[in-house]
Amino acid sequence: MEKTTQNINYEDVVIHVDKVSKSFGDLHVLRDVDLQLYNGENLVVLGRSGTGKSVLIKLISGLLKPDQGNINVLGEVVNILDERDLRGLRQRIGFSFQNSALYDSMTVRENLEFPLVRNKRNLTRTEIDKEVEEVLEGVGLSQAINQMPSELSGGQRKRIGIARTLILRPDIMLYDEPTAGLDPITCLDINSLINEVQERYRTSSIIITHDLACAKMVGDRMVMLLDGKFERQGTFEQIFDTEDERVQPFYDYNFIV
């Protein structure tokens, strides 16, 4: 299924990765990379496991610092912010973890309330309930409000993880392998949800994946990380219209009809 591009403001750059490099000892993960995310855009970052995709979003969210270069997010240079300002910026960035990162000892309601109460302490009980109910409706799981994470399927846990991120109404969403470990039908559901989030909440998103079905369904634009650099970018067809021996095996393994 092809992506229908939403309203994207190409004059408003919400993330600018500028000549960033990152190494771990002798392992050079990112090499002088540049990347821009536009307001309202779903940008897919493709690449094999271990190529630095997850490192990229950890740099963007300030969980790691680059060895060189700058990362500007919503007008702030992330790598020079102090801890207080970084916490403030992170409230505007939603991070959807690969494992959903739910607290097993809390109900769905309590999982969703936790970030809300922690970051917006002046809310009334009525306001909290309203926010929880709205995001659960937004991910199609209103009925799960009093369930424990252990009672949910993998796809449901993924949806609740996204809902917990959305409850703070972030401007930017960062998805780390959103379809990892899910069956094909559930993958389609999660891909549809990512597009619904973009439209309903007006988010700008980076989706890290090696799942080409996900990439094709959610990406307005794609970039491919090869040998620490963004060697290819464009539409799905433009990315794979190449004889580059590093790219074709990736497509063949993911085979899409």
State pLDDT tens for residues 120-158: 878 899 999 999 999 999 999 999 999 999 999 999 999
Residue 2 banded pLDDT, cuts 50, 70, 90: low
Strands 68-73 and 204-209: unpaired
Quote the DSSP letter at residue 64.
S
* DSSP calls for 178-226: TTTT--HHHHHHHHHHHHHHHHHH--EEEEEES-HHHHHHH-SEEEEEE
> pLDDT at residue 49 above 70?
yes
Residue indicated by tokens 């926010």: 131
What integer pLDDT is reported at residue 247 of this predicted model? 84
In this prediction the pTM is 0.91
CA neighbor of 43 nearest in space, from 11, 76, 74, 16: 16
What integer pLDDT is reported at residue 7 of this predicted model? 85
What integer pLDDT is reported at residue 253 of this predicted model? 63
Across residues 31-49, what is the average pLDDT?
Answer: 93
Task: Give CA 188 to chain center in angstroms.
Answer: 16
What integer pLDDT is reported at residue 109 of this predicted model? 95
Superfamily of domain 1-92+172-188+206-257: P-loop containing nucleotide triphosphate hydrolases (3.40.50.300)
Mean pLDDT of the chain: 90
What integer pLDDT is reported at residue 1 of this predicted model? 58
Is the Cα torsion angle 53, 233, 73, 20 positive or negative in sign?
positive
Annotated domain spans of the chain: 1-92+172-188+206-257
pLDDT in tens, 75-127: 999 999 999 999 999 999 998 877 778 899 999 999 999 988 888 878 899 99
> pLDDT at residue 39 above 90?
yes
Residue 257 banded pLDDT, cuts 50, 70, 90: very low
What integer pLDDT is reported at residue 148 of this predicted model? 96
Higher pLDDT, 47 or 163: 163
Share of the chain residues as helix, strand and coil, in percent rounded to the nearest 5: 40, 25, 35
What integer pLDDT is reported at residue 231 of this predicted model? 85
pLDDT in tens, 182-201: 898 999 999 999 999 999 99
Across residues 215-234, what is the average pLDDT?
Answer: 92
Across residues 215-238, what is the average pLDDT?
Answer: 91
Across residues 42-68, what is the average pLDDT?
Answer: 91
Answer yes or no: are the C-beta atoms of 206 and 15 closer than 8 Å.
yes
What integer pLDDT is reported at residue 156 of this predicted model? 93
| Least trusted range by pLDDT, from 4-13, 23-32, 75-84 | 4-13
Higher pLDDT, 249 or 63: 63
Quote the DSSP letter at residue 72.
E
